[in-house]
Amino acid sequence: METVIGNPLIKALIILLLLSATTAAGDAPFIISHKKASLTRLKSGAERVSVSIDIYNQGFSTAYDVSLVDDSWPKDLFDIISGNTSNSWERLDAGGILSHSFEIDAKRQGMFHGAPAVITYRVPTKVSLQEAYSTPILPLDILAERPTEKKLDW
């Protein structure tokens, strides 16, 4: 048995098989998504949340039927002002970027912890839909009492 494994031809064949298996597994889309939110105080008692979600395909092939759903904004706490909390695209090419944004108004004061958005996509070599998640947002202190900033400090 030692002479079979010690044979350089057998070693080269094993390495070739391992490399081809690694390459085949790495030939799929690899979706990374970043979700960010920022607060804008409009007037006393009103604050707008601007949300943007960027989706990156860091893999080596195209992702098809890409769909984004962000259901982390309860309707009893937020009103949609512009855009939608979901969107879909036909494809996301390898190395490509998709961006989606929307604005919502907060109805109540308090801390809000948003969940990640869900991205689903289809890979031609697999039957089932694939799922990816965005990064979660940092906690938002909505309508918080903020001290006034000093504009000039002599």
pLDDT at residue number 24: 45
pLDDT at residue number 107: 87
The confidence band for 85, taking pLDDT boundaries of 50, 70 and 90, is very high
Q: β-strands 86-92, 118-122: how paired?
A: unpaired
The confidence band for 25, taking pLDDT boundaries of 50, 70 and 90, is low
Computed over every residue of the chain, the mean pLDDT equals: 84
Which residue in 110, 118, 115 sits closest to 39, CA to CA? 110
Q: In one letter, which amino acid is 88? A: S
Compute the average pLDDT of residues 37-42: 90
Give the residue, 69 or 1, on which the prediction is more confident.
69
Tell me if 58 sits within 8 A of 69, measured CB to CB.
no
Q: Is pLDDT above 60 for 5?
A: no
Looking at the chain, the whole-number percentage of residues with pLDDT higher than 70 is: 77
Per-residue pLDDT tens for 110-120? Answer: 899 999 999 99
Q: How many C-beta atoms lie closer than 10 Å to residue 62's C-beta?
A: 20
pLDDT at residue number 80: 94
**pTM, full prediction:** 0.76
Pick 25-139's CATH classification: 1.25.40.10, 2.60.40.1530, 3.50.50.60, 3.40.50.1260: 2.60.40.1530
Which residue in 79, 140, 77 sits closest to 105, CA to CA? 79
Q: Could you tell me the residue ranges of all domains in the chain?
A: 25-139
Q: Is pLDDT above 80 for 149?
A: no
